[in-house]
Each structure stands twice: as C-alpha cells, then as structure tokens.
Amino acid sequence: MSLPDSRKLSAATIAAMRDVAETHILPRYQKLAEGDVRSKTRPGDLVTIADVESEHALTRILPGLLPGSCVIGEEAVSANDAELKRLEGDGPVWIVDPIDGTANFVEGNARFAVMIALVRRGETLMGWIHDPVANRTLWAEKGAGAWLEERGPSGAPSPPLRVHVALPLSDSFAELTAGLYNREMAGLEGKFARVVRLGSAAHDYWSLTDGRMDVLCFRRLKPWDHAAGLLIHEEAGGYNRLLSGLAYSSAVRDQSGILCAPNRKIWQAILAAHTLRGNS
C-alpha cells in the first residue's frame, strides 16, 4: 500500500500525539491520585486514567487522518480481544499504545512514551514513538528511513534528523549492551558487557537507535509494544527477526521471541550461541 503524502501524514500524527500527551498525560505525570490507577489482569499490570483518556482521544483523531482506516488500542483489546480481528482485514489499522511504560509513569519515572503503528495485513507501514517529557518523536516509514523530530523549549521544531543504528566497534558480545526480556536468553546474560532493563519497550527500541543499547530480545509480542519499534529499528539500519528466522507480523497471533541486533551477522551469532547453549 502506498501512502498519500506520507510526510504530511506523519506530521499530523506527531501533532496528534503531542496534543494528546499535553492534554491527557503530562498534567497527570507525578500527580496521579489514588483512584487514578488500577490493576487490569494481575497485580503490576497497571492502567491509569491517563492511559484510558489518551487512547480514547487518539481513537477519535487518527481515522480522520487516513480515510478508510480504523484503530485498535491496548486498553480496548484488554476489554475485548476480538478487536484484534481488525488486523486481519484489508484496510489500514492504527495500533495505539497510549502509555508504554505505565509502571514507570505511575512511579514518576520519565521513561514512558506514546507508541503508534500504521499497519495493513500485518505489515507495518509507519511507526512513531513520542516521548512526552522530552517532547521528541522517533518515526519511520517502511523503505524510506527513520527520523527524529524534536521541539525546543519555545515549542519551535528542529529540522528532522535521519537516525542510524550505530555499529559497535567489535562483534564480540563482551562489547555489547543488551536488553533481555526473554527467559530463554537468560543463559547468555554473562556474555554481554551489560544487561539493562528500562521498563518500557518504547525506550528500549529508542535506545537501539542512539547507541545506548545494541541487542534487544523479547518473548511476548503484543503488537502495540513492538510494531512501531521494530520498524524504526529496521529503517535505522538494524536487523530484527523472530527467533524462528521469520519476519514479525502484527496480524499473526501468539508469536514468541524477537531478537534485534545491529546487523545480520551479530544477530546470527547471538542466535547460534543461544541454540548451542540450548542443545548443550
């Protein structure tokens, strides 16, 4: 699917994310009342009034940016997982994570973000990660690259900056920083220079593009957590695949295990080390 004037569409999407964050999220940052937070399916699986209100707002706005599109959001799917069937249709679908890193948000930690992906038939066409506190946005278009857009203290925009995954100086695991959120990979932790956990998939994917992290592995693959970040990583020059070697698709349910690396060579080396350890 070719998108009509994708730059204009991205600018409108970023404007919507920024407006929703300024209206519904930032006013409650570090100011949540006791009744503003609840658990969903289990203790620690949190949702706040800011999650709900910002998802509702984006669900109203986004279809107007692209005729014929619809929206699925994390909180809507939590209430009714039949919403996921929308991903199997032929029309474009916006996938919304209103606040990725909700636990951080609740704790007053700035590592949270708004994530949006535009997909069709499981293929991610565009993806955005907006950091409300820093007022900056990473975005990518399939086949066109990844970009960083920032706003200064006055609100004036800076020119978009092309984003590239920095290649490490060495392929040695001992030189690499990793985020390992997959128990299957636990046996490799000691091989990396550092293992970090940021508590937000959005900030994990962001860290792959600015050199703070080299390797990232997840087990559970909910589309709102990963569709945008994987496209941004790939369009910035990184390499990611499921541990099976297949490409990620937001339309396929129950996928498990994604591995992101600076390039295919390092990806293959990590997978080989994982496989060898599993067979030993």
pLDDT tens for the chain, residues 1 to 280: 456 788 999 999 999 999 999 999 999 999 999 899 998 777 677 899 999 999 999 999 999 999 999 999 999 988 888 888 899 888 999 999 999 999 999 999 999 999 999 999 999 999 999 999 999 999 999 999 999 999 877 777 778 899 999 888 888 999 999 999 998 888 899 999 999 999 999 999 999 999 899 999 999 999 999 999 999 999 999 999 999 999 999 999 888 899 999 999 999 999 999 886 654 4
Boundary residue ending a domain (100, 132, 162): 162
CATH number for 156: 3.30.540.10
- Same domain, yes or no: 187 and 156: no
- Same domain, yes or no: 28 and 133: yes
- Same domain, yes or no: 125 and 210: no
Coil vs helix vs strand at 142: coil
259, 241 in Cβ contact below 8 A?
yes
DSSP string for residues in 79-111: H-GGGGGGGGSSS-EEEEEEEESHHHHHHT-S-
Residue 1 lies in a domain: no
How remote is the C-alpha of 150 from its chain's centroid? 18
- Same domain, yes or no: 150 and 183: no
Boundary residue ending a domain (104, 127, 162): 162
Axis-axis angle for helices 201-209, 223-235 (nearest 10): 0
Coil vs helix vs strand at 20: helix
* Both tokens assigned to 196: 């970090």
Bridge-based pairing of strands 177-181 and 215-220 is parallel
CA distance 195 to 179: 6
Residue 244 lies in a domain: yes
Boundary residue ending a domain (162, 190, 224): 162
CA distance 139 to 13: 10
- Same domain, yes or no: 77 and 136: yes
- Same domain, yes or no: 12 and 140: yes
96, 62 in Cβ contact below 8 A?
yes
- Same domain, yes or no: 45 and 147: yes
CATH number for 193: 3.40.190.80
Cα four-point dihedral sign 208, 210, 211, 212: negative
- Same domain, yes or no: 11 and 110: yes
Residue 168 lies in a domain: no
112, 30 in Cβ contact below 8 A?
no
- Same domain, yes or no: 140 and 262: no
Overall domain count for the chain: 2
- Same domain, yes or no: 137 and 191: no
Coil vs helix vs strand at 19: helix
Residue 100 lies in a domain: yes
Query: Shortest CA distance to 250 belongs to which of 220, 218, 227?
Result: 227
- Same domain, yes or no: 158 and 182: no
- Same domain, yes or no: 35 and 114: yes
The residue range of the domain holding 107 is 6-162
Question: DSSP letter at 157?
Answer: B
Residue 62 lies in a domain: yes
Residue 167 lies in a domain: no
